[in-house]
């Protein structure tokens, strides 16, 4: 009976995490590039996509799974102006800041019409997993949902966005000076977990720990 109780707790704990992982919007490869210009001493500017008339846009195709099941449909990430995103190296990761809004759009075919989701993106960090090769960088941010038919599926109107940028010719960006460009190879947009869900996950872990402890006393 004790073993059965432990098994149920394991399913409860990992079931919550599994449900969260299955509900997301997956971004496909972008048509345009992310461009980094580094100064060799821990500073850089970032351009998202191709720019015209002071506005820069990244675009591609995305689809939703789980509760967010949707698409395939167009997505776009648009900055309000050029040279408004900067990065600074803190010794382990890049901190990203922006002086102007960044807009996220999902829905429609061809160009994004925002029918499925719209929001304002605040970038946070940029990480480089390796110094050379592909799939070696990840840009993350928080998305404040502003509209679209999927908006109600995001608790507190918040989402977490991360995407991998393929920089095939990148070296150690924190010490290199130059221009590096590559497209988004993949990305994920997930709802920010509700406090109640996090509490359930934490309670499951605590109960599991207690059950295991009693099992071996």
pLDDT of amino acid 72: 97
β partners of residue 182: 34
pLDDT of amino acid 130: 62
> What predicted TM-score, i.e. pTM, was given to this entire model?
0.78
Q: Where are the domains of the chain?
A: 24-191
Task: For CA atoms 194, 164, 62, 121, give the dihedral sign.
Answer: positive
Residue 92 has phi, psi (to 5 degrees) of -135, -25
Alpha-carbon dihedral angle through residues 182, 186, 191, 192, given to the nearest 10 degrees:
-50
pLDDT of amino acid 149: 97
**Per-residue pLDDT reduced to its tens digit, 49-103:** 999 888 999 999 999 999 999 999 999 999 987 778 999 999 888 999 999 999 9
At 25, list the tokens. 């919007």
How far apart CA 103 and CA 88 sit, in angstroms, is: 22
pLDDT of amino acid 8: 29
How far apart CA 48 and CA 111 sit, in angstroms, is: 17
Which segments in the chain show pLDDT lower than 70?
A: 1-21, 130-136, 194-217
How far apart CA 212 and CA 204 sit, in angstroms, is: 12
CB atoms < 10 A from the CB of 112, how many? Answer: 26
């Amino acid at each position: 009976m004790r073993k059965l109780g432990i098994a149920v707790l394991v399913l409860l704990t990992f079931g919550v995490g599994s449900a969260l992982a299955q509900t997301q919007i997956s971004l496909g490869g972008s048509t345009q590039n992310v461009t980094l210009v580094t100064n060799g001493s821990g500073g850089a500017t970032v351009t998202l996509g191709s720019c015209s008339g002071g506005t820069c846009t990244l675009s591609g195709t995305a689809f939703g799974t789980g509760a967010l099941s949707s698409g395939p449909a167009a997505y776009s990430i648009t900055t309000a102006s050029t040279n408004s995103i900067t990065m600074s190296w803190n010794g382990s990761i890049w901190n990203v800041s922006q002086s102007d809004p960044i807009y996220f759009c999902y829905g429609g075919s061809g160009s994004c019409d925002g029918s499925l989701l719209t929001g304002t993106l605040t970038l946070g960090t940029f990480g480089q997993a390796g110094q050379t090769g592909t799939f070696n960088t990840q840009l993350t941010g928080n998305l404040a949902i502003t509209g679209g038919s999927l908006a109600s599926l995001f608790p507190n109107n918040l989402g977490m966005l991360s995407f991998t940028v393929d920089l095939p010719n990148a070296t150690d960006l924190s010490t290199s000076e130059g221009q590096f460009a590559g497209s988004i190879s993949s990305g994920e947009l997930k709802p920010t977990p509700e406090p109640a869900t996090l509490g359930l996950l934490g309670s499951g872990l605590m109960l599991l720990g207690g059950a295991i402890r009693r099992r071996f006393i």
